[in-house]
Amino acid sequence: MEPKSLHLEAYTISETARKLGYKSTKTIYRLLKRELLEDYVYLEKSGRVYLILEPPNLPTLAEQIRGNIQFRSKNVIKRCKW
């Protein structure tokens, strides 16, 4: 039996913010500081932080952020359809 390979796409915080439609990285950094996105973090040996948008067996990063921020009428999360 051949082992299955796991392919994950991980992006820097700036790239993640752009992919999710944010103008700034402030929201993502705030959630990281509160340790709400720990399951989505991939830490490289050099210390660089990457975020996994769709980890296996977990909700997507967009859903996790949506569940942890305050609802506002002009919020990017409300307007985007993932």
- The more confident residue out of 49 and 72 is 49
Does 80 score more than 70 pLDDT? no
Cα separation, 82 vs 62, in Å, equals: 8
Q: Residues in the chain, how many?
A: 82
pTM: 0.76
The helix, strand and coil proportions of the chain, stated in percent and rounded to the nearest 5, come to 40, 10, 50
Cα separation, 53 vs 41, in Å, equals: 10
The model's pLDDT over 41-52, given as tens digits with 9 standing for 90+, comes to 999 999 999 999
pLDDT of residue 43: 93
Q: Where are the domains of the chain?
A: 10-79
The model's pLDDT over 6-50, given as tens digits with 9 standing for 90+, comes to 778 899 999 999 998 888 999 899 999 999 999 999 999 999 999
Q: For helices 26-33 and 13-20, give the axis angle rounded to 10 degrees.
A: 120
CA 45 to chain centre: 20
